[in-house]
Amino acid sequence: MQLSDRIGRRMKLQDLHVLMTVVQAGTMGKAAERLNTSQPNVSRSIAELEQALGVRLLDRHRQGVELTEYGRALLDGGTAVFDELRQTVKNIEFLADPAAGEVRIGSIPFLASSFVPVVVERLAQPYPRVVFHVTAAPAETLHRDLWDRNVDFLVAWRFGPFVDERLDFEPLFNDPHVVVAGERHRRSRERPLKLVELMDEPWVLPPPDTAFGSIARESFRASGLNYPRAAVFTLLNEVRLSLLAGGRFLTLCSTSALRFPIQRPGIKILPVQLPLASVSVGIVTLKNRTVSPVAHLFIGHAREVAKPLAKKK
């Protein structure tokens, strides 16, 4: 009997689910507790998988279990199988009730508190029973969540060429960064200004070793300047903008941050040329992965929200 025939007759989704749980739990005993079954039943499921495939999937040791090379290959495929099954169920649910469903969105913190809420609000009005799960995290964490199918897609920045062959990037709009101050700041009425003239001002900046910090760092470097000695370091966009109200600080932010989720009339964009300070905002998806109908709806509404910004030069 060929291997494909053995798999069709003997390989069960339940056994694959047991293997995934064992790897997540680290031991057969802990997996049995999570699955509300006995350890012999867990061992039997793993043994039946190994017999069906004719290879060893797990190495057992005192500390628990470890995937073999064959086990890692099966787990990678198994994650995709369950993800496709989950998406198929979502498709069926959506066909049965087009006004309901769930969508899992991953986004960097800045966009999760600015652009994403605007799209959610726009979609929630015609589809009040859609449930949104929004995860905000650094880009590295978000990519792992996407690879592990914990989110449907990402709303994120792209720095330079998108080189990860496992992912697709659909640009929505280009997001220039600008120098901003509160309307009471002594520099808010001066024009024109050079970046070098502002180096001794109190700055609120992102840490230079972060993704956002790298944008600011490269902008100063392209102007022949070092990173300013900031008075406050924070990644939190709302903190940076709130500190401008007193008229003491300067900061960098993207133009979209001044528009979403609300207009910010008390903040002034200073007439300073910032070289290189622009990033592309877009949707990141896994290649060859089925996206649910609700995710398609969100992405479509994101395109509409982004249109006014995409038209700006």
Q: State pLDDT tens for residues 35-64.
A: 888 888 888 888 888 888 888 888 887 777
For Cα atoms 28, 31, 35, give the angle at the middle one, nearest 5 degrees. 135
Interatomic CA distance for residues 299 and 305, integer angstroms:
10
Summary mean pLDDT of the chain? 84
In the chain, the N- to C-terminal Cα span, in Å, equals: 64
pLDDT over threshold 60, residue 9: no
Query: What three-state secondary structure class fits 183?
Result: coil
Distances (CA, A) of 46 to 2, 77, 97, 166: 21, 16, 38, 29
- Pairwise pLDDT comparison (301 vs 166), residue with the higher score: 301
What pLDDT, on a 0 to 100 scale, did the predictor assign at position 1?
A: 43
pLDDT over threshold 60, residue 4: no
pLDDT > 90 in the chain, percent: 24
Q: What is the mean pLDDT of residues 19-25?
A: 83
Q: What is the mean pLDDT of residues 247-264?
A: 83
Give residue-wise pLDDT tens across range 83-129.
777 777 777 776 667 677 889 999 988 899 889 999 999 999 888 88
Q: What is the mean pLDDT of residues 210-229?
A: 86
For Cα atoms 215, 228, 110, give the angle at the middle one, nearest 5 degrees. 40
Question: In this structure, are residues 183 and 268 in contact, taking their beta carbons and an 8 Å threshold?
Answer: yes
Interatomic CA distance for residues 281 and 214, integer angstroms:
16
Least confident range of 2-6, 26-30, 135-139, 287-291:
2-6
> Which CATH number is correct for 175-278, 1.10.760.10, 2.60.120.1440, 3.40.190.290, 3.40.50.970?
3.40.190.290
What pLDDT, on a 0 to 100 scale, did the predictor assign at position 89?
A: 75
Q: What is the mean pLDDT of residues 125-148?
A: 89
Interatomic CA distance for residues 52 and 123, integer angstroms:
46
CATH topology classification for 3-78 = Arc Repressor Mutant, subunit A (1.10.10)
DSSP 166: T
Name the segment(s) of the chain with CATH classification 1.10.10.10. 3-78
pLDDT over threshold 80, residue 144: yes
Distances (CA, A) of 245 to 181, 251, 267: 8, 12, 8
Name the segment(s) of the chain with CATH classification 3.40.190.290. 175-278
| CATH class assigned to 97-173+280-311 | alpha beta
DSSP 257: G
How many helices (H) and strands (E) in the chain? Answer: 11, 11
